[in-house]
Amino acid sequence: MSLIRSKNTKPELIVRKIVHALGLRFRLHGSNLPGRPDLVLKRHQAVILVNGCFWHRHVCKFGRVVPKTRTDFWEAKRSANVARDRRNKRDLRRLGWTPITVWECETRDIERVQRKLRFFRPDRKS
């Protein structure tokens, strides 16, 4: 497992580009919000969480991968991530934010991400 969760990952950069192209303004890593969401669209009271499929156990072929070594360790880690994701989303909603999860596998298809975010109105010219 050479995957290390870090800031400014490639899927995150892809999502930023798409959000920017949609004319939406955002801030990065909302440090005062639960789970420090990757993108914060303050004007829309929404946050975008860019999640790695393996780490956050997406229901896709990448999320279903079971490591052959240190299986218990990874599974415990991933379960903790999923539980934390759930908690963070709940807390965000309670604070009036709309959390939107964009999965790593979705960033391979830019149109798919655009569709997911198209209900936002651009911030420009207003």
Binding site for Zn ion (CB under 5 A): 53, 58, 60, 62, 103, 105
Query: CA 25, CA 20: separation in Å to the nearest integer?
Result: 7
State the minimum distance, in angstroms, from the CB of residue 114 to Zn ion.
17
Structure tokens, 67: 């490591």
State which residue, 24 or 53, has the beta carbon closest to Zn ion. 53
State the minimum distance, in angstroms, from the CB of residue 6 to Zn ion.
18
State the minimum distance, in angstroms, from the CB of residue 52 to Zn ion.
8
State which residue, 26 or 54, has the beta carbon closest to Zn ion. 54
Evaluate whether 104 touches 61 at the Cβ level (below 8 Å): no
- Cα angle 95, 5, 52 (rounded to 5 degrees) comes to 70
State which residue, 5 or 42, has the beta carbon closest to Zn ion. 5
Helix 10-21 with 110-117: angle, nearest 10 deg: 50
